[in-house]
């Protein structure tokens, strides 16, 4: 994720990898596309093309490397499957590539019984010779566990989700029991383990494909030319323009693929996305601007379902940068922000003020937690007490893309900049292309940054551990905050399945968060999913991505 070369090229990327076996001509690709369409028809997939207006370019197509909804929508829920998966439109875990599983009495051994007859995708750059089996599961997880794995030596990357959740320390070993049985042995009981296995990083890769890439000296191509078992087959990607997929004629879920072609039209401007949707240039769009919601609702050809978002927008403080390492400075910056003004101007009625590190819909949320009141005078006094009566200079990073938790980061940054100026803090607004923004933030280049989170698995650990735990300090914990009393509570809560005890631990952890304030909670937003009324069975996903399996077009 931190390497520039991980990001896909600007051109349609078939020819380079095709040299592994042969040189593919333009005519051959045209024939391959026609063959894919023919196979889709033969498999009973309706001859329908759906265009999705997405908000940004993915950083790559290897889910284990990434942490954003832009990446997951473009790779995880198109190309791949996981051992267990979240139901469409919900957070309940259901069987995926594992048709069933057993847990030992001590809770430390999980045995997964794999589905038979699942095929990896046939693409222009890979023809599998066998079906999915235990070797693929073992390779997928050994890649994240063993830095000495030959594939990792050839293509060394980081796995932020896996390490942020401490799975590199939790999982003692992953073993192939037989071709269709895999056993995970844990070092400790872990309450959210099964939910964690349904997450995007755990998408199952083809060990056969990885072996071919390794032998060809092209291991990095696993991030540019994906192969999975999922509902759609990757066809091409032109950066900042389009991603093209074909319906998978061999998908193992009967009737789940209802589109012969799926096209991502990458359109960063929310208003342009809305215009394209109204002109039927795309049939589904991501994240409407609050200013466009009324117009979209009034269009008889557009459906506008909505629901409270399982999300949080916040302002992160890099505690490794002085003077942000001091609690009183973070408290001063927080109380200098007029958050109600942000709710009114940025969210325009589609958000509510956040007071803690989780949304109210998350179980164990502390409803008694109170945020700081807007008080510039007290903020100035705190800075003076900290020896900073004249304020200080700081960078304020603003996201270049619209996210469900923040519909207009640039406007928010400008308003915060003006608020901080009133207490003598001079903020310079900085932004980068989305992939670069995330990469540089992980490297700790920011002072303060606007970012946010949409829950991944319905467990409190996904907020408190993933965003604030010490193990996540080089990943999703953007502020690099590591506080032992807080971390001890998170570790303790993971090691019991007693919901009452976990709730007690998480409540105490939230109170510590409020005292230390490693980031300023801003808002929980309302989520809309605009789509043409011709689209069938599209669901709002509470965990923040968009899925097209099961989606059709009249």
Model pLDDT, residue 402: 86
- Cis peptide upstream of residue 323 (ω within 30 degrees of 0): yes
User: Do the domain assignments include residue 238?
Assistant: yes
pLDDT for residue 41: 60
Tell me: do 187 and 316 sit in the same domain: no
Question: What pLDDT score was predicted for residue 544?
Answer: 85
- Structural domain includes residue 447: yes
Q: What integer pLDDT is reported at residue 28 of this predicted model?
A: 38
DSSP letter at 11? Answer: S
- The confidence score (pLDDT) of residue 350 equals 86
Q: What per-residue confidence (pLDDT) applies to 326?
A: 97
Residue 91's pLDDT is 87
Predicted local distance difference test score (pLDDT) of residue 73 = 92
Q: What span, in angstroms and rounded, lies between the C-alpha atoms of 248 and 261?
A: 9
Q: Using the structure block, give the residue that is written with the tokens 């960063």.
A: 268
Same domain, 88 and 193: yes
Domain count, the chain: 2
CA distance 386 to 32: 66
Q: Are residues 407 and 485 in the same domain?
A: yes
Indicate the SS3 state at residue 512.
helix
What pLDDT shows up at residue 194? 95
DSSP class of residue 435? H
Residues of the chain falling short of pLDDT 70:
1-43
Q: Give the tens place of pLDDT for each residue, 80-137.
A: 999 999 999 988 999 999 999 999 999 999 999 999 999 999 999 999 999 999 999 9
The secondary structure of 258-303 as a DSSP string is --SEEEEEE---HHHHHHHHHTTS-SEES---GGGHHHHHH-TTEE
Provide the 3-class DSSP secondary structure of residue 206. coil
Tokens coding 340: 């109600």
pLDDT at residue 164, as a whole number: 85
Q: Domain range for residue 126? A: 4-266+532-553
13-26 per-position pLDDT tens digit = 333 333 333 333 33
Euclidean distance between the first and the last CA atom of the chain, given in angstroms as a whole number:
39
Residue 298 lies in a domain: no
**Residues 182, 317: one domain?**
no
For residue 46, the model assigns a pLDDT of 97
Q: Which residues pair with 261 in a beta bridge?
A: 49, 246
Q: Are residues 338 and 231 in the same domain?
A: no
The CA distances from residue 125 to 16, 59, 117, 285, 321, in Å, are: 9, 20, 22, 30, 46
CATH number for the domain harbouring residue 340: 3.10.105.10
Domain identity same for 537 and 493: no
- What is the pLDDT, as a whole number, of residue 25? 30
Neighbouring residues of 413: CB distance < 8 A, sequence distance ≥ 6: 396, 397, 398, 427, 429, 450
Do residue 463 and residue 327 come from a single domain?
yes
């Amino acid at each position: 994720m931190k390497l520039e070369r991980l990001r896909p090229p600007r051109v349609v990327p078939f020819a380079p990898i095709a040299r592994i076996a042969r040189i593919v001509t333009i005519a051959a690709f045209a024939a391959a596309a026609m063959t894919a369409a023919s196979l889709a028809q033969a498999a009973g997939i309706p001859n329908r093309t759906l265009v999705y207006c997405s908000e940004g370019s993915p950083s790559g197509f290897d889910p284990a490397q990434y942490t954003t909804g832009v990446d997951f929508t473009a790779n995880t829920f198109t190309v791949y499957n996981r051992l267990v998966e979240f139901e469409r439109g919900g957070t309940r875990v259901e069987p995926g590539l594992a048709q069933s599983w057993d847990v030992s009495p001590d809770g430390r051994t999980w045995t997964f019984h794999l589905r038979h007859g699942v095929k990896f995708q046939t693409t222009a750059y890979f023809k599998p010779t066998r079906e999915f089996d235990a070797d693929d599961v073992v390779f997928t997880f050994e890649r994240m566990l063993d830095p000495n794995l030959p594939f990792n030596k050839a293509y060394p990357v980081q796995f932020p989700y896996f390490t942020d959740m401490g799975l590199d320390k939790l999982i003692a070993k992953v073993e192939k029991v037989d071709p269709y049985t895999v056993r995970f042995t844990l070092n400790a009981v872990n309450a959210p383990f099964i939910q964690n296995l349904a997450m995007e990083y755990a998408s199952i890769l083809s060990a056969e494909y990885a072996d071919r890439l390794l032998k060809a000296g092209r291991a990095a191509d696993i991030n540019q030319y994906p192969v999975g078992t999922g509902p759609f087959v990757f066809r091409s990607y032109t950066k900042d323009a389009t991603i093209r997929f074909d319906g998978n004629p061999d998908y193992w879920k009967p009737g789940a693929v209802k589109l012969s072609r799926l096209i991502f039209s990458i359109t960063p401007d929310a208003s342009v996305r809305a215009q394209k949707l109204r002109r039927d240039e795309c049939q589904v769009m991501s994240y409407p601007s609050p200013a466009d919601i009324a117009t979209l609702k009034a269009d008889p050809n557009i459906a506008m379902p909505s629901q409270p978002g399982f999300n949080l927008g916040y302002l992160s403080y890099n505690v490794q940068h002085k003077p942000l390492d001091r609690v009183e400075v973070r408290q001063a910056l927080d109380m200098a922000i007029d958050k109600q003004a942000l709710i009114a101007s940025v969210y325009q009625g589609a958000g509510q003020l956040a007071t803690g590190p989780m949304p109210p819909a998350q179980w164990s949320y502390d409803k008694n937690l109170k945020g700081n009141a807007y008080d510039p005078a007290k903020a100035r006094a705190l800075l003076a007490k900290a020896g900073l009566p004249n304020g200080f200079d700081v960078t304020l990073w603003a996201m270049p893309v619209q996210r469900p938790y923040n519909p207009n980061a640039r406007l928010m940054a400008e308003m915060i900049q003006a608020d901080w100026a009133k207490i003598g803090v001079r903020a310079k607004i900085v932004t980068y292309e989305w992939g670069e923004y995330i990469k540089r933030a992980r490297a700790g280049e920011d002072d303060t940054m606007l970012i946010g989170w949409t829950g991944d698995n319905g467990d409190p650990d996904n907020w408190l551990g993933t965003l604030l735990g010490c193990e996540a300090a080089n990943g999703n914990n953007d502020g690099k905050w590591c506080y032992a009393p807080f971390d001890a509570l998170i570790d303790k809560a993971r090691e019991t399945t007693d919901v009452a005890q976990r709730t007690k631990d998480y409540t105490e952890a939230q109170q510590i968060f409020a005292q230390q304030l490693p980031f300023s909670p801003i808002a929980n937003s309302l989520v809309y999913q605009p789509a043409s009324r011709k689209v069938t069975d599209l669901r709002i996903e509470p965990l923040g991505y968009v899925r097209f399996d099961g989606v059709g077009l009249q």
